[in-house]
Amino acid sequence: MNENIEHDHEDHEGEPELVQEPRLWQGNGWTARVIKNEDDEGWAVAMIKDGEPEPALVGPWTMGRDKKNPKPLDTNAFNTLVKTASEVIRRHEQHLHAILHKNLHVWTEKSGNLKVTLDIVPDDDDPYGMLAATDEMSEQVAKVRVPASFKLTQSSAIAWIEADFKAPRA
């Protein structure tokens, strides 16, 4: 057996080597960092998605056998943490989408059955909404800019349609 085996620690195609240590583990676009829990004497783990400034998830971490130090990270624990943190992000994105995108169907004698949508554009300086109506053939009938505070309801949609699709006020 050759004890002078050289280990390849160089980058593969410019990618930095992943750290996989007891308190710091990287992989799959994530970094897990075991940290001292400031609220008590225990430990916590922070899951940070690559490129993000803040952790997506911070949660309690198990104590090791000595009851002083944290349990070391390993592949199985890391993969579970990645799955949990990814789910947190997915739920946050779904919630944000639900807040920014609303739609409903209305029927009026004048215009028949229309799908009315409100898409909020959360611009830091000038947030606004785009109110649109499409017919049963998915043809856009109208589209207007509205204040970001506009509330899409059955009655506000019908009032907009009956006002010949003129931009409503908040």
DSSP string, 85-147: HHHHHHHHHHHHHHHHEEEEEEEETTTEEEEEEEEEE--SSS-EEEEEEE-TTS-EEEEEEEE
Residue 148 has a CB neighbour count (10 Å cut-off) of: 15
pLDDT of residue 10: 45
Cα(100)–Cα(80) distance, rounded to whole angstroms? 30
Cα(63)–Cα(53) distance, rounded to whole angstroms? 27
End-to-end Cα, the chain, rounded Å:
78
SS3 assignment, position 48: strand
CA 14 to chain centre: 28
Residue holding tokens 């506009």?
Answer: 150
| pLDDT < 50 positions in the chain | 1-11
pTM of the model: 0.67
pLDDT of residue 15: 61
